[in-house]
Structures are given as C-alpha cells and as structure tokens.
C-alpha cells in the first residue's frame, strides 16, 4: 500500500468527518470519525465498483470458455436495460459468436456462447442468479447478502474504500477558471471554475495528485493600453499612479479601450508601452503588478464564495520560455516561416498554429505550447485537463496536435490530454446572459443574489435558527444552487440561468438534495442510538425489496464516480445523487425504521445513504447541512 494512497484516503475521510463533526449533529459525528482510523485498512480491500468486479469475473469466464481468444476480448458489463430481469447485463455473447463462427466446435448461436461463459464463470459470491434474454444477453441479479456485506463493510471502513481504482498516484494538471486580468470574469469563467473544481475534487478523492492551475490572462497587448492610460491620467505619470486608479478595473478597461479605439496616436503610444513593459521598465512592471493585484482580489471574492482553491500560474509565467521554444521549433523544422509568422502546420488542419506573430509578438497559442511542455517536462503530468467553453475546442485541438508534432507529448509514457468543453449560460429569456442594465453580469452579485433569495425559505423552515445558522444555510443553499444548476446539465449543452428553478425545493436541485440529506441525518439523530457503535457491531440485513434496491443504489456510488471520470461529465454525479434520494424515499415510504424489528439494519441503511450523499456533496463542492 503506497503512502500516497493512504494519505489521499485519509484526507478524504477527514474532510467528510469534519463535515459531520462541524454540524454538532450529535450521533452523526462519531460514526464518521470512527471511519478515519480505519480508512487505510479499508483501502487495502479496495476492489472497485460492482461493474468492475463483474467485468473481472466475466473476463475470467470468457477466457476460460474460449481460450483461443484469451486476451483479445474485453468483458462488457453494464446496468441492465430492464431492471425487471436483472441488475446488470453482460453483452459479449453476440460479438463472440461472430468471431468464433467457422471454427471447429464453435457454439451454434449466441445463446450457446452465453451458456458457455456462465458455465465457466468463477464463484464471486456476488451473483444471485442469471438468465438469458434476447439473442444472448446475460442478465445478472446481484446477491442481496453480498450487497448487505458490501454496505456493512463500507460503514465500518469508510466510503473512500469505494473510490474507483486506477487514479491513485497519477499526476493530473487541471487548468480551469482562468479569467483574464483587467477584464471582468464572466459566466463562462464561472462555469469553468465550477466544473473544474468538481473534476479536481473527484480526482483527489480517487487518490490522484492534482495540480489546480489558474492560467489567468495576465500578459498581452491589453496591458499596454491600460498602463498608457494610467500614465497619461495623472500629471506625474506612472510614478504617481495609485491603487485608486485600478479600483474599478472595468471602468479603467472601458475608458482605456475607448481611447485606444478612437485615437490613432494613443494606439501607437500604447504599443510602445507594451515594449516598455516587456523590457522590464520598473514603473511599467509596477503598474502591471497593481492591475494584477486588483484583479486577483476580485477573483478571490468568487473563489471564497465558492470555496475553490487554485494555484495561480498565469500566462506571464511562461513568458521567458517563449523565445527558446520558438527557436527550438524552428531549428528542428517543426515550425516554419509563413507570411512572416512562425507557424506549425499540422496535418489535417486548415489553419496552422502560430507560435510567433509576424510582428514578433507571442500569442495565446505560443503560451499554450510552452505550457504543455512545462506541464509534461517539469510537472511530470500524466494527464492534463483544460476546461473552457466549446468555442476554444479548435484552439486546443491545434495545440494538442502541435505538441504531438513537436514531440512534447512523450512516446515512452502515456500522457492523456483532454479539453473539457462546455456550452453557454443563457438568460432566463434564452438569450445571451446579461444584467438588467445590459452589462456583463458581475459574478459576485450573481452569487450573492442566489444566497439572498433563499434566506426567507431558510427562516420559514427553521424559525428557531440563529442568525449564524441562517447565514450558513443560505450560503450552502444559495451558492450550492448555482453550482448544482450548472453541474446537473450535460456540460456541452447550453442552459438557462434561472433563480426560481435552481432554488426550488422540488426536483433535481441543490436545495432539494440538502433537505433530503438533512432529513435522513435527522432520522438517525432522533433515533437516539449511538450510530458509530452500531456501525461496528450491527450488520445490514436486506429483506424487503426496497431495502435491497436502496443497498444496490448506495453501492453504485463507485460506478457514478467512475463514469464521471471516464468521460469527465459531472452531471453523472448529480444524476446519481438524485437517484439515491429517490430510491431512499421509496424505501422510507414502505419501511418503518425506528421502532421496527429491523431498526438496527435500517438505521445502518439510513446512515449509509446520508454518508454517501455527503461524499457526493464533497465531490460537488457543496457544503453539507445537517439541520434545515
């Protein structure tokens, strides 16, 4: 067991523990704390999700039944199309039949293939029954005593034992948020921040070593314009500039831009200012720093509200690497001169990647080439993920292809590189998202408005809450609602931003989920039982069909996380959370918990549900509430 895994798992359980302890929720806290001490032991027993385990078993079955094809056919197991017939299904028989056709002793039809696989299936204890359907699908029903043990084990060892395998120790760079200095951070950056944080959190949960990089636009020609404007505004020039000049960067930007567009001479002076800045003249650098600091303070207000951490590594960081990079590319013939610019032509792309413009300047693409190289050579990244709107897809395609051509992507080890694109945020009217005055929406105001709008609901539902509790709940629900509304859509679709929808207490919203969690936590709390002790001594027993369904859904947490990471689709997590809450409600409607003969086991199911929900909230970056 590597120390890294232990640390990562320990960290996660600690986070979930802290959430529980912070709630002062009585019985709920010790259960989670207890898991902290055994997380490492539990980690040793990580075997992957149900799908993974079944795939392993079916792989063995397929290889044993058809040794001639061993190693050539991967087992395919997925949730059953029709839950009436099973929980999962294996779909290999049809294709296998095709491949075996014509060989001596080939099975006569796909059903015969399926039967042969079943006959060779190793004993796992997981499968209660199988049946054949259609041309050769194998339906699988999961054994309920296995499920009961699986959930009991998780309660004793912590939910980190359910983290999908395969990510531990991987070095992953997640490039997200990345607003531009001196320009307002817009809803696109908000989406990138929310999506990127969830991807980073989920990878961290799985034991990856994540570097969260904020590739802010802190370098470029716009600074010439801004600095020149500041220089001419006061008598003493740049030396007389103060923080007041950058207090409202939007105002500064607009004024400078107007002047830049209208006055030819100013344009020239602004260009000269860029050169001065690049040559490192102190008062220019200082003005630049002042602008960056002011922007940073603004960005931080958003990150604080959203509870997102990022390491700033802006474009300027790569500046010293650009000249040598272009020289290297030219020397090796990877880049060539075209119309005065230095370009990398990539097969199959209509436009080249411009690594140096004809005026000698470096642009967005030059920096991104340098960043890929740095992330691979210096950061030793195994995986690099970029999160921006889909409008930048072709830029990243070109950068990735260029980096491959340049040999920055190494041949000796596999580096995965992904652009995670997302759609637009639209206004309630389905048009471009704008504030009432028609301006760009200020994100701080947007977030605080969500929080403000939920205050009355919080007070109504809990008239006895202290002002601090109202504040905590409205923060969690308001900011959580904005995040959740963003995350629940397939990331590539455009979605409408609607306070009414996102703050609804019904349906697939953060508010609904937070209430659902608090209600389940309160069932456990109000039972008056010592749930921590119960987790250690009692066992889950599944008798009622709704109990079985709930235990299965709880166990599918691993699959949800797995599929979210495979395709980098955060809505897989919100979908799962919604399913879990729904299946819990069905259980709770039909199964009495407190005071029933099955009280112990059912309390454990409640605890397992709320614990799993907390893990989801943790991954989604939503603050958990216990009493609302």
Nearer residue to ligand ARG within complex by CB, 242 or 393: 393
100: its two tokens: 């075996």
SS3 426: strand
| Distance from the first to the final alpha carbon of the chain | 40
Q: Which of 609, 611, 582 is nearest to 593 (CA)?
A: 609
In the complex, minimum distance from the CB of residue 367 to ligand ARG, in angstroms, rounded to a whole number: 7
Is residue 563 left, alpha or beta, with left meaning phi > 0 and alpha meaning psi from -120 to 50?
alpha
Could you say which DSSP state residue 563 is in? Answer: H
Give the Cα separation of 85 and 284 in Å (integer).
Answer: 71
Angle between helices 187-205 and 467-487 (to 10 degrees): 90
Nearer residue to ligand ARG within complex by CB, 13 or 175: 175
Nearest residue to ligand ARG, using CB?
A: 178
Contact 227, 423 (CB under 8 A): no
In the complex, minimum distance from the CB of residue 573 to ligand ARG, in angstroms, rounded to a whole number: 23
Nearer residue to ligand ARG within complex by CB, 179 or 402: 179
Give the Cα separation of 485 and 83 in Å (integer).
Answer: 29
Instruction: Measure Cα distances from 511 to 69, 308, 448, 625 in Å.
Output: 52, 20, 16, 10
Residue ranges in 76-105 that form contacts with ligand ARG under rule CB under 6 A: none
36: its two tokens: 């902290």
In the complex, minimum distance from the CB of residue 388 to ligand ARG, in angstroms, rounded to a whole number: 5
In the complex, minimum distance from the CB of residue 159 to ligand ARG, in angstroms, rounded to a whole number: 33
Contact 491, 195 (CB under 8 A): yes
In the complex, minimum distance from the CB of residue 519 to ligand ARG, in angstroms, rounded to a whole number: 40
Nearer residue to ligand ARG within complex by CB, 284 or 396: 396
Position among 17, 34, 214, 388 found at the interface with ligand ARG (CB under 6 A): 388
Nearer residue to ligand ARG within complex by CB, 388 or 610: 388
In the complex, minimum distance from the CB of residue 392 to ligand ARG, in angstroms, rounded to a whole number: 6
Give the Cα separation of 401 and 343 in Å (integer).
Answer: 13
Establish if 373 lies at the interface with ligand ARG (CB under 6 A).
no
In the complex, minimum distance from the CB of residue 83 to ligand ARG, in angstroms, rounded to a whole number: 42
Q: Are strands 495-496 and 88-90 parallel, antiparallel or unpaired?
A: unpaired
Establish if 371 lies at the interface with ligand ARG (CB under 6 A).
yes
Establish if 298 lies at the interface with ligand ARG (CB under 6 A).
no
Nearer residue to ligand ARG within complex by CB, 66 or 176: 176
Contact 361, 354 (CB under 8 A): no
Cα diameter, the chain: 95
Nearer residue to ligand ARG within complex by CB, 371 or 625: 371
58: its two tokens: 């079916």
Contact 306, 194 (CB under 8 A): yes
Task: Determine which helix (DSSP H) or strand (DSSP E) holds 171, and give its type and residue range.
Answer: strand 171-175
Nearer residue to ligand ARG within complex by CB, 368 or 486: 368
Rg (CA), the chain: 28
Nearer residue to ligand ARG within complex by CB, 183 or 281: 183
386: its two tokens: 């970029």
Establish if 368 lies at the interface with ligand ARG (CB under 6 A).
yes
User: Site map for ligand ARG, 207-236, x if CB under 6 A?
Assistant: --------x-x-------------------
In the complex, minimum distance from the CB of residue 605 to ligand ARG, in angstroms, rounded to a whole number: 44
Nearer residue to ligand ARG within complex by CB, 190 or 198: 190
Contact 32, 17 (CB under 8 A): yes
Alpha carbon 94 to chain centroid distance?
36
Nearer residue to ligand ARG within complex by CB, 319 or 586: 319
In the complex, minimum distance from the CB of residue 312 to ligand ARG, in angstroms, rounded to a whole number: 12
Neighbouring C-beta atoms of residue 283, cutoff 10 Å: 16
In the complex, minimum distance from the CB of residue 386 to ligand ARG, in angstroms, rounded to a whole number: 5
In the complex, minimum distance from the CB of residue 175 to ligand ARG, in angstroms, rounded to a whole number: 5
Position among 66, 167, 362, 386 found at the interface with ligand ARG (CB under 6 A): 386
User: Site map for ligand ARG, 312-351, x if CB under 6 A?
Assistant: ----------------------------------------
Nearer residue to ligand ARG within complex by CB, 152 or 178: 178
Could you say which DSSP state residue 274 is in? Answer: H
Phi, psi of 279 (to 5 degrees): -80, -5
In the complex, minimum distance from the CB of residue 252 to ligand ARG, in angstroms, rounded to a whole number: 18
Q: Are strands 353-356 and 383-389 parallel, antiparallel or unpaired?
A: unpaired
Residue ranges in 170-199 that form contacts with ligand ARG under rule CB under 6 A: 175, 178-180
Nearer residue to ligand ARG within complex by CB, 364 or 452: 364
Instruction: Provide the sign of the torsion angle of the four alpha carbons 443, 447, 450, 451, taken in this order.
Output: negative
Instruction: Provide the sign of the torsion angle of the four alpha carbons 423, 428, 430, 431, taken in this order.
Output: negative
Q: Which of 191, 287, 281, 183 is nearest to 243 (CA)?
A: 287
Establish if 384 lies at the interface with ligand ARG (CB under 6 A).
no
In the complex, minimum distance from the CB of residue 180 to ligand ARG, in angstroms, rounded to a whole number: 5
Burial class (CB in 10 A: 0-12, 13-18, 19+), 130: middle
Residue ranges in 55-74 that form contacts with ligand ARG under rule CB under 6 A: none
Sequence-distant (6+) residues with CB within 8 A of 507 are none
Contact 628, 473 (CB under 8 A): yes
In the complex, minimum distance from the CB of residue 536 to ligand ARG, in angstroms, rounded to a whole number: 47
In the complex, minimum distance from the CB of residue 371 to ligand ARG, in angstroms, rounded to a whole number: 6
Count of positions on this chain that bind ligand ARG (CB under 6 A): 10
Nearer residue to ligand ARG within complex by CB, 180 or 509: 180
Could you say which DSSP state residue 164 is in? Answer: P
Nearer residue to ligand ARG within complex by CB, 143 or 175: 175
Residues that bind ligand ARG (CB under 6 A): 175, 178-180, 215, 217, 368, 371, 386, 388
């Amino acid at each position: 067991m590597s120390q890294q895994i232990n640390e990562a798992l320990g960290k996660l359980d600690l986070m979930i523990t802290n959430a529980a302890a912070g709630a002062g929720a009585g019985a709920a806290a010790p259960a989670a704390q207890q898991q902290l001490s055994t997380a490492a032991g539990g980690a040793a027993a990580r075997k992957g999700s149900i799908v993974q385990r079944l795939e392993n078993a079916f792989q063995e079955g397929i290889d044993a039944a058809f040794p001639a094809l061993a190693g050539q056919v991967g087992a395919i197991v997925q949730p059953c199309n029709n839950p009436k017939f099973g929980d999962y299904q294996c779909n290999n028989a049809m294709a296998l039949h095709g491949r075996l056709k014509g060989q001596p002793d080939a099975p006569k039809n796909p059903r015969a293939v399926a039967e042969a696989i079943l006959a060779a299936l190793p004993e796992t204890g997981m499968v209660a029954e199988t049946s054949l359907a259609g041309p050769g699908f194998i339906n699988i029903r999961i054994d309920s005593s296995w499920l009961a043990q699986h959930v009991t084990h998780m309660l004793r060892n912590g939910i980190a034992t359910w983290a999908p395998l395969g990510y531990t120790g991987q070095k992953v760079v997640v490039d997200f948020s990345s607003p531009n200095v001196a320009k307002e951070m817009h809803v696109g950056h908000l989406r990138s921040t929310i999506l990127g944080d969830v991807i980073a959190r989920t990878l961290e949960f799985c034991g990856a070593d994540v570097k969260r990089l904020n590739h802010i636009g802190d370098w470029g020609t716009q600074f010439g314009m801004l600095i020149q404007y500041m220089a001419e505004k006061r008598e003493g020039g740049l030396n007389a500039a103060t923080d007041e000049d950058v207090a409202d960067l939007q105002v500064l930007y607009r004024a400078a831009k107007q002047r830049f567009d209208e006055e030819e001479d100013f344009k020239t002076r602004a260009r000269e200012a860029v050169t001065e800045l690049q040559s490192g003249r102190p008062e220019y650098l200082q003005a630049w720093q002042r602008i960056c600091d002011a922007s940073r303070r603004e960005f931080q207000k958003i990150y604080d509200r959203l509870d997102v951490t990022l390491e700033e590594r802006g474009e300027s960081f790569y500046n010293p690497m650009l000249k040598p990079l272009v020289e290297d590319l030219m020397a090796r013939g990877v880049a060539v001169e075209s119309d005065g610019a230095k370009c990398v032509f990539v097969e199959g792309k209509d436009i080249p990647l411009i690594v140096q413009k004809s005026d000698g300047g470096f642009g967005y693409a030059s920096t991104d080439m340098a960043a890929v190289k740095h992330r691979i050579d210096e950061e030793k990244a195994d995986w690099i993920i970029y999160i921006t709107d889909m409008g930048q897809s072709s830029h990243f395609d070109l950068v990735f292809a260029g980096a491959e051509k340049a040999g920055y992507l190494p041949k000796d080890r596999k580096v995965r590189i992904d652009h995670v694109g997302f759609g637009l945020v639209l206004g309630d009217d389905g048009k471009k998202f704008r504030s009432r005055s028609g301006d760009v929406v200020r994100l701080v105001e947007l977030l605080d408005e969500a929080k403000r709008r939920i205050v009355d609901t919080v007070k109504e539902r809990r008239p006895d809450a202290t002002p601090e509790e109202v504040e905590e709940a409205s923060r969690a629900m308001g900011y959580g609602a904005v995040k959740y509304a963003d995350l629940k859509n397939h990331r590539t679709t455009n979605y409408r931003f609607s306070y009414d929808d996102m703050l609804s207490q019904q349906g697939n919203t953060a508010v609904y989920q937070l209430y659902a969690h608090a209600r389940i936590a309160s069932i456990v709390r109000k039972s008056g039982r010592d749930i921590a002790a119960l987790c250690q001594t009692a066992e889950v027993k599944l008798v009622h069909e709704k109990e079985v369904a709930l235990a299965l859904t709880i166990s599918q947490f691993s699959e949800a996380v797995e599929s979210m990471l495979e395709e980098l689709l955060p809505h897989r997590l919100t979908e799962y959370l919604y399913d879990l809450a729904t299946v819990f409600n069905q259980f709770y409607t039909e199964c009495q918990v407190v005071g029933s003969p099955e009280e112990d086991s059912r309390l454990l199911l409640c605890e397992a549900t709320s614990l799993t929900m907390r893990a989801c909230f943790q991954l989604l970056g939503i603050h958990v509430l216990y009493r609302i």
